[in-house]
Amino acid sequence: MARTFIHGGTVVSATGSQPLDVLVEGETIVAVLQPGSAALGADLAASADRVLDATGRYVIPGGVDGHTHMQMPFGGTRASDTFETGTRAAAWGGTTTIVDFVVQKPGERVQDTLAAWHAKAAGQCAIDYGFHQIIGQVDDESLKGMSELVAEGVTSFKLFMAYPGVFYSTDGQILRAMQSAAELGALLMMHAENGIAIDVLVEQALARGQTAPYFHGTTRPWQLEEEATHRAIMLAELTGVPLYVVHVSARQALARIAAARDAGRNVFGETCPQYLYLSLEDQLGAAGFEGAKWVCSTPLRSKAEGHQDELWRYLRTGDVTTVGTDHCPFCMKDQKELGLGDFSKIPNGIGGVEHRMDLMFQGVRSGRISLERWVEVCCTAPARMFGMYPRKGVISPGADADIVIYDPDGHTSIGLGKTHHMNMDYSAYEGFEIDGHVDTVLSRGRVVVDGGGYLGRAGHGRFVKRDLSQNLI
């Protein structure tokens, strides 16, 4: 069994930071040690098969991205990252576990769709992975199937208040699914936008000749995100189900989540880097068709309305529980271009699985969040939220040896041909200059990224059978 000794670094957890050494045997962390005497360190180094010097750098848990869509069919095409390319890119960026979404369409059994996603991912992933289940058809058979999925380690289910005719569920269907999830102790995830009203606004905009990508944002206004978020919270309160609202972009929606949390409800909010850094004016409003690069749902919000600053504040206060990516990449050529002349046909999605850890570290650099909060929202909280703690999200004896050595004095330039390894022909963060750099990444004890080189392989990643959420109050 291979032994790895990491010494000289500062181990960062959600609760504190201190100089510590880490000893790994095989796939597992077996000891976290005070640096101690020189003799002790020398003995451990001498007995190790591999010694990693982390002097001057942070030693953090591998990132956990709880929101990805690899190979997802959507809008007449499919996400451009496969499980192989997407998990490789994630590893480059310091993420060692993803939780992807299985998609059920009307007429399909949830058990069959889960089997299909297992077949897509098996033997392809460079890092570990789990699954959420999208319930696209709420009926007796799907609700019964939820219990089978929980037994198989798929313990969270997603519904949509948006996309009528595709994923949309009525309030009655949402109520039934929430009741079933509550009985199972499972987590109910919600895409909270009023899709019925959005479709009217889209139709009206197109009739006025407003076809540019910018109007994707204006036809999905914050009021329809706040309204749907409030409605979801009320239905969750009625049924007693824990509620996780995905990709929250509007400050008003987060205010609803914060109020529910203040009242002691099991309500949780996720945001994504795009809502912290990008905006309606600067990205969606880019000249010509360029704004299509940043079409996603929920949409980028107006900087003038203060959404970005307020999301950072809620992130700092704990009302944002996790930061995922909603990684659902599409190339401009032949994919985003499906919406030339009609913004409603642009595939909704942004690629970011490779950049989340770096982008969120900029919040540490700017003083918006603490070093410990960075690790919490990117690693520990999603592991707890999705039933993988303490196997994931922590550097502790018994945990999987998912470890990142991060250089705070390093530098990363985001852009095609530089640090971009996602299967896309552009980057949503092209031109961003990052203070910090992922130096070394271990996935279950195996070095998959080191010294600017990729050492991983497809098939190393394993399916994580998840427990119920460990983040409930």
Predicted pLDDT of residue 1: 84
Predicted pLDDT of residue 434: 94
Average pLDDT over residues 222-232: 98
pLDDT band at 188 (very low <50, low <70, confident <90, very high): very high
Are β-strands 156-160 and 128-134 bridged in parallel, bridged antiparallel, or unpaired? parallel
Predicted pLDDT of residue 18: 97
Predicted pLDDT of residue 43: 80
Average pLDDT of the chain is: 96
Q: Is residue 459 part of a domain?
A: no
Average pLDDT over residues 221-229: 98
Check: CB of residue 74 under 8 Å from CB of residue 346. Answer: no
Q: Residue for token digits 């098969």?
A: 49
Q: Is residue 11 part of a domain?
A: no
pTM of the model: 0.97
pLDDT at 61 over 80: yes
Fill in the amino acid letter for 374: W
Q: Is residue 439 part of a domain?
A: no
pLDDT band at 40 (very low <50, low <70, confident <90, very high): low
Q: Is residue 148 part of a domain?
A: yes
Fill in the amino acid letter for 359: L
Average pLDDT over residues 100-117: 97
Predicted pLDDT of residue 39: 54
Average pLDDT over residues 50-74: 97
Q: Residue for token digits 């909270």?
A: 192
What CATH number is associated with residue 77?
3.20.20.140
| DSSP conformation class of 343 | G
Q: Is residue 448 part of a domain?
A: no
Predicted pLDDT of residue 415: 79
Distances, alpha carbon 300 to alpha carbons 57, 191, 371, 462, in Å: 34, 15, 26, 34
Q: Is residue 12 part of a domain?
A: no
pLDDT in tens, 364-409: 999 999 999 999 999 999 999 999 999 999 999 999 999 999 999 9
pLDDT in tens, 137-177: 999 999 999 999 999 999 999 999 999 999 999 999 999 99
Whole-number percent of the chain with pLDDT over 70: 98
Predicted pLDDT of residue 417: 58
Predicted pLDDT of residue 38: 55
Predicted pLDDT of residue 207: 98
Average pLDDT over residues 314-334: 97
Average pLDDT over residues 318-346: 97
pLDDT band at 42 (very low <50, low <70, confident <90, very high): low
Predicted pLDDT of residue 44: 83
Number of folded domains that form the chain: 1
Q: Is residue 374 part of a domain?
A: yes
Mark residue 239 as left, alpha or beta (left: phi above 0; alpha: psi -120 to 50; beta: remaining). alpha
What range defines the domain where residue 336 resides? 63-386
Q: Is residue 202 part of a domain?
A: yes
Fill in the amino acid letter for 168: Y
How far apart CA 382 and CA 429 sit, in angstroms, is 23
pLDDT at 416 over 80: no
